Amino acid sequence: MPFELRPWKMTDIDSLVFYANNWNIAQNMTDKFAFPYTTENARAFIEFATKDNPVHIFAIDIDGQAIGGIGIHPQEDIHRKNAELGYWLAEPFWGRGIISKAIKQAVDIAFETYDIDRVFARPFGTNIASQKVLEKNQFMLECTLEKVIIKDGVRIDELIYAVRREKWVK
């Protein structure tokens, strides 16, 4: 299914609220990804996502609708050679290969744009689909941090996956 990564815009508020207001997505995200997801959450997120230059937080767009998001978050200070990858996709679009291709595009952008050596992602230990899509995109499991996340009152594992510039195959 064809899609594009593009900067977020305020006209995405309605589609963002429509697709992001879903517990099946929110349960695998940090608590900053609100549930329920409101118009105010969407407005604040789009303001945040569009403030930096170069843009590094993108809407996943199909036919003019934002159906998910993906971002590369460059780190600072002693972690400055790293960037964190974060993403989500609307449930009706799961299982179609979209997020896998979006990850590849985002990592390409990260290595082309930033002076970094490593892109990492931190899926929850319970999020098997995210683990598989990272592995499909050359990410290697670096470590498991046992019971360090508290989500909805439950302690779960955090996994750290990463891909290194020298091993990235475009």
Domains of the chain: 4-167 (3.40.630.30)
Tokens (6 digits) for 112: 């082309």
Measuring CA to CA, which residue among 40, 94, 107 is closest to residue 67? 94
What's the whole-number average pLDDT of the chain?
97
Provide the pLDDT confidence category of residue 1 given band limits of 50, 70 and 90.
confident
pLDDT in tens, 103-154: 999 999 999 999 999 999 999 999 999 999 999 999 999 999 999 999 999 9
Q: Is residue 161 exposed (0-12), middle (13-18) or buried (19+ Cβ within 10 Å)?
A: buried
Model confidence at 170: pLDDT above 90: no
Average pLDDT for residues 67-96, to the nearest whole number?
98
Q: In the prediction, which pLDDT does 161 show? A: 98
Residue 155's DSSP bridge partners are 150
Provide the pLDDT confidence category of residue 20 given band limits of 50, 70 and 90.
very high
Q: From CA 88, how far away is CA 86, in angstroms rounded? A: 7
Provide the pLDDT confidence category of residue 164 given band limits of 50, 70 and 90.
very high
Average pLDDT for residues 25-34, to the nearest whole number?
96
Q: In the prediction, which pLDDT does 78 show? A: 98
The distance from CA 57 to its chain's CA centroid, rounded to whole angstroms, is 9
Q: What percent of the chain has pLDDT over 70?
A: 100
Q: In the prediction, which pLDDT does 169 show? A: 81
The alpha-carbon radius of gyration of the chain (Å, integer) is: 15
- b or e along 81-116 (b: 16 or more beta carbons within 10 Å of the residue's beta carbon)? ebbbbbbbbbeebeeeebbebbbbebbebbbeebeb
Pairing of strands 118-121, 82-89: parallel
